[in-house]
């Protein structure tokens, strides 16, 4: 989810940078502005989009009401002691986690502010969601073909880039049973904001040309709001959407019907009344064919057993450390968050959990003034050890700690993505040429080529 959040924030910053009267606005202000632009009516019903088969008539109305009562099991979670992990500081190297490999994808993904969308396993291949669209990658992360072309305008000038996204796919979930990609579809041109697109995967792979927004045709109206910053993922029966500024989310069926409403810690409402911080985002990801969810400001990660059943998987125990709630973060900019802890990233593999947290609210100004502390935590499922990485040395730009490189063929590493069970980070070709010019393929790579770094 963290890469999803960052991908959206990048779109926010770039969308507002060119046309804004305040090009130096903060991330929080930019988020508010784009939210107002893309969601003009808080109660407006957004639409999901389908393509090819399963077309819906224009007058189709999703079934009303909520089908199931929620069942939430909170017992049985693995407890993770955060204060103990912050005291248990360990230096580790890449070789402790596996062998590092560099994959020159052949895709000019244009890493906007060092951010790519996500990578979704489909059989023994992968679907990459990048700024330009969806790309099919081979088992070793090589470009096979572009599946979908986003309608975006990108311009570079004096080292910076402006972005004008019209219609684009940002997140994907693959459903094996229907051979279908369920996607988060952003449509700014028509003022709709987020939609859900259902795309037939094999049809896209075998098509003679890349699909475009014009190929996404039939629209399915939904009866609940999905704002631009709603987290999105799929599960076996449908997809998930989040009620903005609240503690609840919905499981939805493939015809837009509401299957269940979950509020793990209560249906809190923290809708801002004015200028607000962007706050903590929730995490959602797929691991071993299960969809996992952690709501913003919640310490428990759940998985969906089915459309109406949540089961706790992990619980962060902060002890006496202070955690904020949404009302404190969005309620007033004068609320002091210096002693509050935020969860910013959560990734899982068969062996490890990779978790990032901050003490204090993270922002560019907070980093510049060093008013925020950044921590990278790792939980080893086999040894049950929970520890944190050493903080960066003084004098460097403030950043999250990383796993140290073991030799000159490696670089420091902390996963930004998990593809199946493979840990991934990424850089662009320009970074490779400047920092690792001796790599065999590095001399021929373009500046914008996406280079994936795996450790396995």
Per-residue burial over 399-421, b if 16 or more Cβ lie within 10 Å, else e, is ebbbbbeeeeebbebbbbbbbbe
The pLDDT of residue 25 is 35
Angle at 355 between CA 168 and CA 230, to 5 degrees: 30
Question: Which range has the worst mean pLDDT, 42-56, 213-227, 282-296?
Answer: 42-56
Cα separation of 200 and 247, whole Å?
32
The pLDDT of residue 279 is 86
Residue 32 has pLDDT above 50, yes or no: no
Q: What digits encode the pLDDT tens for the residues 299-344?
A: 999 999 999 999 999 999 999 999 999 999 999 999 999 999 999 9
Q: Which residues in 78-149 belong to E strands, given as ranges?
A: 78-81, 100-108, 118-122, 125-130, 133-137, 143-149
The pLDDT of residue 254 is 86
Residue 392 has pLDDT above 90, yes or no: no
Residue 6 has pLDDT above 80, yes or no: no
The pLDDT of residue 421 is 92
- 188 or 455: whose pLDDT is higher? 455
- 79 or 16: whose pLDDT is higher? 79
User: For residue 423, what are the CA distances in angstroms to 7, 210, 453?
Assistant: 19, 28, 8
The pLDDT of residue 395 is 58
What burial class does residue 138 get, using C-beta atoms within 10 Å of its C-beta: 0-12 exposed, 13-18 middle, 19+ buried? middle
Pairing of strands 309-317, 78-81: parallel
C-beta of residue 115 within 8 angstroms of C-beta of residue 3: yes
- The mean predicted confidence, pLDDT, of the chain is 83
Residue 374 has pLDDT above 80, yes or no: yes
Q: Cα 186 to chain center, whole Å?
A: 14
Q: Cα 330 to chain center, whole Å?
A: 21
Residue 7 has pLDDT above 50, yes or no: no
Pairing of strands 118-122, 100-108: unpaired
Per-residue burial over 252-267, b if 16 or more Cβ lie within 10 Å, else e, is bbbbbbbbbbbebeee
pTM of the model: 0.86
Q: At what angle do helices 2-19 and 27-38 cross, to 10 degrees?
A: 80
Q: Shortest CA distance to 226 belongs to which of 199, 209, 249, 203?
A: 249
Q: What percent of the chain has pLDDT over 90?
A: 54
**In 302-358, which residue ranges form alpha helices assigned H by DSSP?**
326-331
């Amino acid at each position: 989810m963290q890469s999803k959040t960052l991908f959206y924030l990048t779109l926010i910053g770039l969308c507002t940078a060119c046309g804004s009267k305040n090009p130096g606005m903060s991330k929080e202000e930019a988020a508010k502005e784009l939210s107002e632009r893309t969601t003009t009516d808080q109660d407006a019903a957004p639409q999901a989009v389908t393509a090819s088969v399963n077309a819906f008539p224009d007058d189709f109305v999703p079934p009303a009401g909520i089908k199931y009562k929620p069942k939430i099991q909170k017992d049985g979670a693995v407890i993770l002691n955060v204060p103990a992990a912050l005291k248990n500081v360990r230096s580790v190297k890449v070789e402790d986690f596996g062998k590092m490999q560099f994959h020159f994808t052949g895709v000019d993904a244009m890493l906007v502010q060092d951010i790519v969308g996500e990578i979704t396993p489909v059989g023994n291949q992968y679907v990459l969601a990048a700024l330009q669209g969806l790309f099919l990658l081979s088992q070793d992360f090589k470009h096979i073909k572009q599946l979908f072309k986003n309608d975006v305008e990108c311009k570079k000038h004096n080292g910076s880039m402006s972005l004008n996204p019209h219609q684009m796919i940002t997140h994907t979930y693959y459903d094996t049973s229907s051979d279908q990609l369920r996607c988060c579809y952003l449509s700014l041109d028509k003022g709709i904001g987020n939609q859900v697109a259902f795309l037939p995967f094999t049809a896209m792979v075998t098509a003679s040309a890349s699909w475009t927004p014009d190929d996404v045709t039939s629209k399915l109206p939904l009866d609940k709001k999905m704002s631009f910053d709603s987290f999105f993922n799929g599960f076996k029966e449908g997809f998930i959407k989040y009620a903005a500024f609240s503690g609840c989310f919905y499981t939805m069926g493939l015809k837009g019907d509401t299957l269940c409403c979950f509020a793990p810690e209560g249906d809190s409402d923290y809708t801002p009344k004015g200028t607000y911080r962007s706050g903590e985002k929730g995490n959602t990801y797929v691991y071993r064919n299960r969809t996992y969810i952690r709501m913003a400001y919640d310490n428990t990660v759940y998985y969906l057993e089915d459309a109406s059943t949540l089961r706790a998987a992990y619980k962060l125990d902060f002890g006496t450390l202070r955690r904020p709630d949404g009302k404190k973060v969005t309620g007033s900019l004068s609320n002091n968050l210096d002693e509050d802890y935020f969860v910013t990233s959560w990734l899982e593999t068969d062996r490890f959990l990779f978790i990032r947290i901050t003490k204090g609210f993270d922002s560019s100004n907070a980093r510049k003034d060093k008013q925020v502390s950044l921590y990278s935590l790792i939980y080893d499922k086999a040894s049950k050890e929970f520890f944190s990485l050493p903080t960066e040395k003084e004098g460097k730009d403030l950043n999250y700690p990383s796993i140290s490189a073991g030799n000159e063929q490696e670089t420091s590493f902390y996963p930004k993505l998990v593809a199946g069970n493979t840990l991934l980070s990424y850089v662009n070709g320009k970074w490779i040429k400047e920092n690792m010019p001796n790599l065999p393929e590095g001399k021929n790579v373009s500046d914008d080529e996406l280079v994936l770094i795996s450790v396995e």
